[in-house]
Amino acid sequence: MSQQRLRLILLGCLGGVTILFFATVLSGLNLLSAQSQKLVELKQQNNAADAQASGLATSKKQVEQYAYFNTVAKTVLPSDKDQAQATTDIFKLADQAGITIASITFPASSLGAKPTATNDAAKASSKSAISQAKPVEGIAGLYSLELTITPQTGGGVEDAKKVTYEKLLDFLGRIERNRRTAQITQVNIQPETSDSGPSQFIDFTLTINIFIKP
């Protein structure tokens, strides 16, 4: 065998080994890329599973927390829909504060009932209460019913039963502490006037919510 032929054979072998080396490297890189992508996908799935587990744990804590509040609500809030009882309570609170109530007005009922205005607690109807009430946002099963309260004013009311700022504040405090009437939404106050000008007495229109937990 001549040196020329041996040289050509060695060059051919070297070329083949070089091509095989690059082919092996390329195949390894492709395999490594595929494994890396698979690892990324598995990591994403693991993160998603961890997030779901964390969300479930948070939801479980919230369920336990709100279950407690639901129990408290059932204990604290009245479960009846009796407007007459709510009206009676307000009349009692007003009397304790030294105020005489002229009217308590309920909103119009979706059942077709007209607004109820009365100065006699026994006249307030309970049949349409739930139709007049509105769901409380964020608390399932809890309803609020709006009432508008006005006191007796004028010359026909004795001074001992007229409204002063002190009596109004006392009345508002009693309403907020009452388990049935827990939220005051609006208070409009006007001074009473006479021929001699403004007096120490006032008139007001009070809007409150009573809460119902059927």
Angle at 189 between CA 186 and CA 194, to 5 degrees: 160
Determine how many CB atoms are found less than 10 A away from the CB of residue 95.
Answer: 13
Question: If pLDDT is split at 50, 70 and 90, which confidence band does 53 have?
Answer: confident
Q: Does the model's pTM come out above 0.75?
A: no
Which pair of structure tokens corresponds to residue 172? 């508002």
What does the pLDDT average to over 22-35?
Answer: 81
What does the pLDDT average to over 6-10?
Answer: 73
pLDDT at 64: 64
Question: If pLDDT is split at 50, 70 and 90, which confidence band does 10 have?
Answer: confident
Alpha helices in the chain (DSSP H): 3-76, 83-96, 129-132, 165-177
Crossing angle between the packed helical segments 165-177 and 83-96, to the nearest 10 degrees: 140
Question: Does position 54 have pLDDT exceeding 80, yes or no?
Answer: no
Question: If pLDDT is split at 50, 70 and 90, which confidence band does 6 have?
Answer: confident
Which CATH number does 83-212 carry? 3.30.70.60
Question: Does position 24 have pLDDT exceeding 80, yes or no?
Answer: yes
Mean of the per-residue pLDDT values of the chain: 75
Placement of tokens 């509040």 in the chain: 69
Gap between the Cα atoms of 137 and 160, Å rounded: 41
Tens-place pLDDT, residues 60-108: 776 666 555 555 455 455 555 566 777 888 899 999 999 999 988 887 7
Distances (CA, A) of 22 to 17, 31, 75, 125, 160: 9, 14, 79, 92, 106
Q: List the single range of 61-70, 157-166, 179-188 with lowest mean pLDDT.
A: 61-70
Gap between the Cα atoms of 210 and 134, Å rounded: 11
pLDDT at 115: 46
Gap between the Cα atoms of 165 and 171, Å rounded: 10
Question: If pLDDT is split at 50, 70 and 90, which confidence band does 158 have?
Answer: confident
Alpha helices in 77-139 (DSSP H): 83-96, 129-132
Taking the CA atoms of residue 102, residue 104, residue 108 and residue 110 in that order, the dihedral angle to the nearest 10 degrees is: -150
pLDDT at 98: 93
Domain chopping of the chain, boundaries: 1-76, 83-212
What does the pLDDT average to over 23-44?
Answer: 82
